[in-house]
A and B are shown apart, each in its own frame.
Chain A
C-alpha cells in the first residue's frame, strides 16, 4: 500500500497530522508530508481516519 498526498489540493488544515501524527506532518509551507511510508498494522485505523478527515480529500491510499 502506498500513501499519496496531493500537495496541489492540500491546504494545510492539519487534520491528518492530528489523526495520525506518526504518519503525517504539516511543514512550514502549509502542506502535508509523509513521515512514515509504511506504517505498522497498529496505525492503519489512524491512517484511514486521516484519509477520511481531510477536508480537501488530498490523501489517497493506492495498492
Chain B
C-alpha cells in the first residue's frame, strides 16, 4: 500500500470519502495534510457525495465542537458516497451522536460518571485481567507448533479486549459477546460483502439494529427485576425529567455504547499495532 505524495494532490481531485480509495491507498493522511495546508475549511463538493464542509485543523474542530448551538449533530451524522447512503438511516436510532443541546447533556449525564478518569482507573485491574485472558487464550488456541503465534490481530486481539470490557460494563454474559461483535460489524460495515451476506446495506443495518434492540430490551427487563451494578441496570432504572427513558432512545443508547465503544477501541488498537506505536 503506497500513500500518495502530498505534492501530487490537487484540491479539485483529492478524495476523502470513497471506500475503494481507502482500500487502495490506505487512510488518507496525505489528503488531510494537503487540506490543512491549502484549504483547512473546505466545501467538499463532488459528484459521488452530498457536499459538506471538511474542517481539518485541530483548533478549528475544537472551536466547532465548543459551539453546539450553531453546529448541530442532528441533521446529518455520516458522510458516505451516494451509492452507500442508507435512505432514512439517520432515523434508525437516536443517541448522543445525533442529539443536540439541551437533550444531549441530559442523556450524557445518565452515565458520564461511569466514564470519568477516576471511574476508569478503578477498572484497571479488571481490564488487565481481560487483556491477560485474551493473550492466554491466544497462546492456547493459536500456537503454531513452536514459539510463534499466528493470528488475525483484529479479530483475535483488537476486537476481543474492548468487547470483553464493554460486555463487562454492560453485564452481558461471556457467551453472548461474539454476537455483539457480529452486530457491530453489520452496523458499521453494512455495505461490506463480508458482513451483509448478500443483503442490501439498509437490510443489514436494520438486521443489526433489530438484533441489538431485542437483545437489550430483554436484558433490561431482566435487570429491572434483578438489578446488578452494571450499565444495563443503570439505564434500565434511569429517569429523564422524572420519567423512565423512552424505549427507542434507551435501546439506541445501548447500540451506541456497543458499536461506538467497540469500533473505536478496535480501530485504535489495530492501527497502533500496524504503525508500531505503543499503546
Residues on A lying within 8 angstroms of B by beta carbon are: 11-14, 26, 28, 30, 52-53, 57
**B225 touches A (CB below 8 Å):** no
> What's the dominant secondary structure at chain B's contact region?
helix
Q: For the complex, what is the distance from the CA of A28 to the CA of B117, rounded to whole Å?
A: 11
Whether B116 pairs with A13 at a CB distance below 8 angstroms is yes
- Among candidates B62, B66, B116, residue contacting A11 with C-beta atoms closer than 8 Å: B116
Whether B66 pairs with A30 at a CB distance below 8 angstroms is no
Q: For the complex, what is the distance from the CA of A57 to the CA of B62, rounded to whole Å?
A: 11
Q: For the complex, what is the distance from the CA of A57 to the CA of B119, rounded to whole Å?
A: 21
Contact with A along B115-142 (1 / 0, CB 8 A): 0111100000000000000000000000
**B106 touches A (CB below 8 Å):** no
A11 partner residues in chain B, CB cutoff 8 A: 108-109, 112-113, 116
> What's the dominant secondary structure at chain A's contact region?
loop
Q: How far is the CB of B15 from chain A (nearest CB, A)?
A: 32
Q: How many residues of B contact A (CB 8 A)?
A: 10
Whether A26 pairs with B118 at a CB distance below 8 angstroms is yes
Residues on B lying within 8 angstroms of A by beta carbon are: 62, 66, 108-109, 112-113, 116-119
Q: How far is the CB of A9 from chain B (nearest CB, A)?
A: 9
- Among candidates A30, A52, A53, A57, residue contacting B116 with C-beta atoms closer than 8 Å: A30
Interface-centre pick from B109, B117, B119 (highest chain A CB count, 10 A): B117
* Closest residue of A by beta carbon distance from B68: A57
Whether B116 pairs with A14 at a CB distance below 8 angstroms is yes
Listed by A's residue number, 24 A-B pairs whose Cβ atoms lie within 8 Å are: A11-B108, A11-B109, A11-B112, A11-B113, A11-B116, A12-B113, A12-B116, A12-B117, A12-B118, A13-B117, A14-B116, A14-B117, A26-B116, A26-B117, A26-B118, A28-B118, A30-B113, A30-B116, A30-B118, A30-B119, A52-B62, A52-B66, A53-B62, A57-B66
Interface-centre pick from A14, A30, A53 (highest chain B CB count, 10 A): A30
Q: How far is the CB of B109 from chain A (nearest CB, A)?
A: 8
* Closest residue of B by beta carbon distance from A17: B117
Q: For the complex, what is the distance from the CA of A53 to the CA of B62, rounded to whole Å?
A: 8
Q: How far is the CB of B116 from chain A (nearest CB, A)?
A: 4
* Closest residue of B by beta carbon distance from A12: B116
* Closest residue of A by beta carbon distance from B112: A11
